[in-house]
Structure formats: C-alpha cells, structure tokens
Amino acid sequence: MIRGHIARVVKGLRERLGRARKKFGRKIRAGLAFGARAIGAGLLAAVGGLLAAVPGLLLALPRRLLGGRGKSPLTWGGRVARLIFVRLIVRARAMYAEASGANDVLTRFKEPGRRPAKFGFPTDYFGGNLMSVFQRETEAMREAYSRYEPPMMLAVAAEYWGLQEGITSVGEAVRQLAVNTSDKYPADAKMADLVAQVYDLLHQAAEAAAEVGPLFAKVHADDLRRHEDPRPGEHMWNILERRADGSYSMRSPSQFVAVCQDIAHVYARYEPGHMAQVAAEYEGIPAGIENVAAAIHLLQVRSAETYPVEKGVVEAIADLHGLLQKAASAAQELMPAFRRLHAPDIARHEDPRNGESGEAMWDTP
C-alpha cells in the first residue's frame, strides 16, 4: 500500500512537471511572438505618424494665418502614431494571452488586492484620466475570480452552471448604459444603438453559456452519479485514500455569479454628473468586457489542464470566450463614434474659446 502511494505521488509530480514545462515553453514562444509584434507596431506607428505629419506641416501655417481654431494640424502625426500603436499593441497583448495559454488573470494580479496599472499612453477622451466604473468593477471581479480555487469537482460544476447568470449580470450593466444613453444623457441617439449592439453580443454569449452546464452534466453523468446517488462503499472507487472534508451540491452558488452580480448592482446605482464621466464609460467598456473574457479564459485553461473534464466542455468554454472577445471588439467602436458624433461639444472642452471662463458663457443653466 505504501509503495503504491509513493508511486502515485511520484507520478503526480512527473505530471505536474510536464505541465509546467509545457506552460513555460508556450509562454516563451508567445513572448517572442509578442516582442516581434511590438516592434512591428512601433515601426508601423512611426511610419503612419510621419505620413500624417506631412499634411499637418503643410496646413499649419495657412491655418495660423487664417486664425483657425481647434487642435493644430501639427499634432496629427503624434495622434495618428499613438492611435496605431495602441491598437496594434492591444491586439498583440490579446494574441499573447491566447498563445501563452491564459489571459493571465493570475500573473497580472501578482499581489492580492492589487489591480493592474492602466496602459501608459494618454487617454483619447476629454475629461482626463477618469476611470470607468464598469472597467473598475470588472477588474475587481477578475482579481477575485483569479484567487478562487474550487476544492472539488461539484464546486467546479457550480461554475459551469453559473456562467449564464454571471454573463447576464455583466450584460445588464451594459444594457443600463444603453438605456441611460437613450433616456438620460445628452448624447446622440446613434450612441444608444451602438451600446445596444454590444449588449446584444453579450446576450448571445449568455445564451451560449447556458449550454455549458447541461453539456457538463451529460458527459459526466457517471461521475456525478457517484455523488448524487452513491452506492454502498462508493468511496472505495476514489483515486486517493482520503478525501477533503466538506461537500457541495449542484445548487451551490457559483463564485463567478457572485463576483459578476456586484458589477450590475454597482452600475445600477451609478449616476454620472458630467459627460466626461459618461465618455469614460464608453472608453472603458472594451477593457471591462476583456476582463470578463479573461476570467472565462482562466476557467477554460483550468478545465483543460487541471480539472478532470471532457474535451467537449473545454471547447464550449472556448467558444464562449470567443463570443466575449467579439463583444469587446465591437465595443472598441464606441469611443471613436462618441468623438465623431459630439465633436462640437467636445471641442468646447478641449479648445475653449478665450479660455474656460469665456467658453463658460455658453453654459446652460
């Protein structure tokens, strides 16, 4: 018996070392690819910035002679270069997270309670470095979920069953933003439609998430039966001689649901007092959805490499992750559309005529 136990321990160590080597190799390859993409992003940004700077230089002098207002054409090069680089580097980071085997919910939060720093480039919306409430709450959700380690498979099952409710809670926050954009905020009606389109994609993801729990129950019917309808002496079929104390039922609350519900609750009470704060919400929606996608991807990775589940369950979660990435991609269009549709309003803040005190004479009571 002792010899068999030692053999199982040694086998388990070998398997863990094998998985660790595999993970390390994937991260190295993904890191090299990311480095190449980052260099390429810098080169393309430099070329794009130079091309945009040429017409800016040509138009700067005539504009000054004519007394033009608004942002100087001399800034075109830097703005275009920054936009190209940020877009490409965000895509490169997403590709790295996918190739390395995790959207690094774990490695981005190296210390409990510590949130990741914002990207170091200037923001592109008026109002300064405001933090989106949606983005802040989803980061908290992502951090909390990264620390959760289900103690047994019935707890993992609760996570699969809770995916739909969790994503529905996130979608409810986006739906609330769409409703407020339509009914409360002085925004173009097209903005409400764009936010609603992002919500529709999240709704599709929630519908796909509803299939994960039943699929898990179907392919693991025999495993679940050992807990739900145990035979006399069922423990004699256990892999290890001792089991962890405690038990879970299929009705146990999902940790994913718990952390996602906070997002909807906080957002339902949030009342922005200025359009700069609303702009920050539009800006933060893509990153917020990516935080949710990262939590789902963590569940996917653990299901593939840690939890004893069938491949079909892992593939279903991967499909769900793809739908969330699609929603995040669609949300990238919110801020450019906001700036385009509200250019005169934003210009009053970014380039006030005769200073803020002068421009303030146009403020409404």
pLDDT digits (tens, 9 = 90+) for 266-291: 888 888 888 988 999 999 999 999 99
The mean pLDDT of the chain is 79
| Beta-carbon contacts of residue 345 (< 8 Å; ≥ 6 apart) | 275
Rounded mean pLDDT of 116-133?
Answer: 52
SS3 156: helix
Q: What three-state secondary structure class fits 188? A: coil
Question: Is the model's pLDDT at 242 over the cut of 60?
Answer: no
The pLDDT assigned to 107 comes to 34
- Residue 251 tokens read as 């009705």
- The per-residue pLDDT for 292 is 95
Predicted TM-score (pTM) of the model is 0.64
Residue 226 has pLDDT above 50, yes or no: yes
The pLDDT assigned to 315 comes to: 94
Split at pLDDT 50, 70, 90, the class of 333 is: very high
Across 196-223, average pLDDT: 94
Tokens of 227: 């807990």
Task: Please provide the DSSP assignment of 103-140 as one string.
Answer: --HHHH--STT-PPPPPSSPPSSTTSSPPPHHHHHHHH
Q: What is the pLDDT of residue 192?
A: 95
User: Which has the higher per-residue pLDDT, 116 or 348?
Assistant: 348
The mean per-residue pLDDT over the stretch 351-360 comes to 84
The whole-angstrom distance between residue 325's C-alpha and the CA centroid of its chain comes to 8
The reported pLDDT for the residue numbered 118 is: 39
**Binning pLDDT at 50, 70 and 90, where does residue 68 land?**
low
Confidence of residue 349 (pLDDT cuts 50, 70, 90): confident
Q: What is the dihedral of CA 66, 71, 73, 74, to 10 degrees?
A: 110
Predicted local distance difference test score (pLDDT) of residue 109: 36
**Per-residue confidence (pLDDT) for residue 106, from 0 to 100:** 40
Higher pLDDT, 207 or 71: 207
Provide, rounded to the nearest whole percent, the portion of the chain with pLDDT above 90: 36
Q: What distances in angstroms separate CA 14 from CA 10, 28, 50, 325, one per listed residue?
A: 6, 21, 54, 35
Task: Decide which of 85 and 283 is more confident.
Answer: 283
With a cut of 50, say whether residue 304 has pLDDT above it.
Answer: yes
When mean pLDDT is compared across 113-117, 249-253, 264-268, the lowest value belongs to 113-117
CA distance 247 to 326: 37
Q: How many CA atoms lie within 13 A of 322 on its CB side?
A: 7
Q: Work out the average pLDDT over 253-274.
A: 87
Residue 101, pLDDT > 60, answer: no
pLDDT of residue 247: 47
